[in-house]
Amino acid sequence: MNSPRKQHTITAPASISGVGYWSGSDVHVEFRPAAANAGIVFVRRDLPGKPRIPASVHYRTEIPLRTNLSMGEAGVEMIEHVMAALAGLQIDNCEVWVDRPEMPGVDGSALPFVEVLQTAGIAAQDAPRPRKIIRQVVRHGNEKSWIEARPCCSGKTILQYELDYGSGNPIGRQSLEISLSPRFFHVNLAPSRTFLLEAEARELMARGLGRRSTCKDLLVFGGDGPIDNELRFPDECVRHKMVDMVGDLALAGCDLIGRFVAFRSGHRLNAELVRSLVALDDESKETIKRCA
* Strand (E) or helix (H) holding 42: strand 40-44
User: Could you tell me which residues are beta bridge partners of residue 139?
Assistant: 148
Rounded distance between C-alpha atoms, residue 166 and residue 215, angstroms: 23
From 218, 211, 291, select the one nearest 1 (Cα to Cα): 291
Rounded distance between C-alpha atoms, residue 272 and residue 248, angstroms: 10
Active-site annotation holds for 267: yes
What angle separates helix 236-249 from helix 267-279, to the nearest 10 degrees? 30
Rounded distance between C-alpha atoms, residue 167 and residue 181, angstroms: 33
User: Could you tell me which residues are beta bridge partners of residue 10?
Assistant: 122
Half-sphere exposure of 203 (CA within 13 A, CB side): 5
Would you say 45 and 161 are in contact if contact means Cβ atoms under 8 Å apart?
Answer: no
Rounded distance between C-alpha atoms, residue 167 and residue 239, angstroms: 19
Half-sphere exposure of 226 (CA within 13 A, CB side): 19
Q: Which residue numbers are catalytic? A: 267
